[in-house]
Amino acid sequence: MAARLRARVRPRRGLALRPRRADGRAAAQRRVARAGARALRRQVRALCAEAHALPSRALVCVDQEGGRVRRLKPARGFAELPSAQAFAQLPEAEARAYAEASCAEMKSLGIDFDLAPVVDLDTNPANPNIGALERSFSADPNEVRRCVRIWDDAARRAGLGLCLKHYPGLGGAATDSHAELTDVSDCLSKDEVALFTELCEATIGSAILLSHARVRQWDPDWPVSISAVAIGALRRALPDALLVTDDLQMQGLRAFCSTTDAVVRALSAGADLVCIGNNLLVEERECVHAAETLRRMAQGDASLAATLAAAQARVAARKVLCAS
């Protein structure tokens, strides 16, 4: 055991030496950190339990991709999780260990869905939102398939839903939709789009997150997340998929419409859940207004009412899945 000697002068007794643990302060700091991590875990579990205790038994989702995109951070005492790019380079046994630990941890906290993995192909490593942040497994579709299978195996063991993102694929983009319009019309590949439709039904939760990318050949007017054309085509291909929008407060979408209008457009088009982060903007009242607007519209529109009822049924099925 490491120790160091510190001199102490005792009156009339000369010089005495006594050992002192060099790691005492570090050990105390570790104890404090562990206590803080346990308290934070309790807080997260309590928050998830409150959400589940609501009459609607809300689904609890988290962005836990690994690397730069981790809401549950190792610095706060949560499990380590490498970026998707680093994950793909690991020996398979090590990659599986990371996925299993992360999925088990999320489930133990009361989380229902991980809004991951990223299926975007890394066709533009300079992409400020994907490639530059190591959020893509690879530019090779087969490597993406392999990594998604590892995550699916781990999530199934834990009983955790997964959500593939960001449809139809942001890998080739040159801009970040958090900050500005993202157009993938000239870089989107058939291979990238096919990964979503292929892997969705094979992945626990059967969910896809819709990006705010613009694909002009699909819809010249609206981004995918609020496009009746794009969402309708995907819904016909995957009737039972859970379709979730990316954060409707991103600046790349606000160039087209307000948050309330985006909610109405997305759900009317066939999306099932909308994400509103409420941290880029404070819009709690707008969220309530959007819900009230949809309710009024559905009362006078049988087709919209049926669309919303179908969405509710798909969400309810995931609640049953995650509660089991």
Catalytic center residues: 178, 246
Six token digits for residue 25: 């302060």
* Secondary element (H or E) of residue 302: helix 302-323
CA distance 143 to 73: 26
User: What is the torsional sign of CA 153, 42, 84, 189?
Assistant: positive
Instruction: Give the whole-angstrom CA distance, residue 120 versus residue 140.
Output: 10
The tokens of 295 are what? 């309710």
In the chain, the amino acid numbered 280 is L
Residue 208 near residue 162, CB atoms below 8 Å: no
Structure tokens at 242: 């859970």
Nearest to 182 by CA among 124, 235, 143: 124
- Cα 240 from chain centroid (whole Å): 20
Give the chain's radius of gyration (CA, Å).
24
Report cis status (omega within 30 of 0) of the bond before 52: no
Residue 163: partners with Cβ closer than 8 Å, 6 or more residues away: 61, 113, 114, 115, 116, 205, 207, 208, 209, 242, 244
CB 293 within 8 A of CB 304: no
Please enumerate in sequence order all residues whose Cβ is within 8 A of that of 28, keeping only pairs 6 or more positions apart, or say none. none
